Amino acid sequence: MKEIVIASNNQGKINDFKVIFPDYHVIGISELIPDFDVEETGVTFEENAKLKSEAAA
């Protein structure tokens, strides 16, 4: 099964992705990096998502 890693610790967001992508194994970043934490300093959701994805990469 293909896997999607969400750069978020928000279980609600992770659950949303599980519903949207039922054919994928969806996990939160904390399953790979337990202490993952990024300060969300962006002005928009998009900017914060970019900050988190870059930190996860």
Confidence class for position 1, pLDDT limits 50, 70, 90: confident
**Euclidean distance between CA atoms 18 and 22, whole angstroms:** 6
Parse the chain into domains and list their residue ranges.
Answer: 3-56
**Euclidean distance between CA atoms 56 and 4, whole angstroms:** 13
Element (H, E) at 48: helix 45-56
Please give the backbone phi and psi of residue 6, each rounded to the nearest 5 degrees, phi first: -95, 125
Residue 57, pLDDT score? 87
pLDDT in tens, 29-49: 999 999 999 999 999 999 999
pLDDT in tens, 4-30: 999 998 999 999 999 999 999 999 999
Is pTM beyond 0.85 here? no
